[in-house]
Structure 1
Amino acid sequence: MNRLVRVALTIGCFFTAIACYVFGVPVGGIAFIILGVIFEGLFWVGVFGKKKKFPSSESR
């Protein structure tokens, strides 16, 4: 996946999680809080997700 797209999706998940928390907490909407937790999880997976391993120059 393109690096720019990955960063944009990660930032989008972060702001979507914040929006879900903002809407869910005052109203008591458990669905928004659950969605917030899901999007926050996706954000953290995007930040600390699997990195590509590049072959080292020592193995040549």
Structure 2
Amino acid sequence: MGYKMDTYLKVMVTIITVCVVIVTLIIVAEMLSSLGHHEDYDEGYHEKLDYLIDRIEQLERD
């Protein structure tokens, strides 16, 4: 009976370890993909800010 319990315990530990690794990989992948998305957002923000600054300077000159 002790042998079956050891095998069961090893299988359960293996399953839990695999699940933890998969969840960790998913979290890391989402963090990396959202990081890339924010860089694109920042570029758009800076372009809009530059446009507004140029427009204000044009209005001041006129």
Is the structural similarity TM-score above 0.5?
Answer: no
Point out the structure with the larger helix share.
Answer: 2
Q: Which TM-score applies when normalising by structure 1?
A: 0.43
Rg larger for: 2
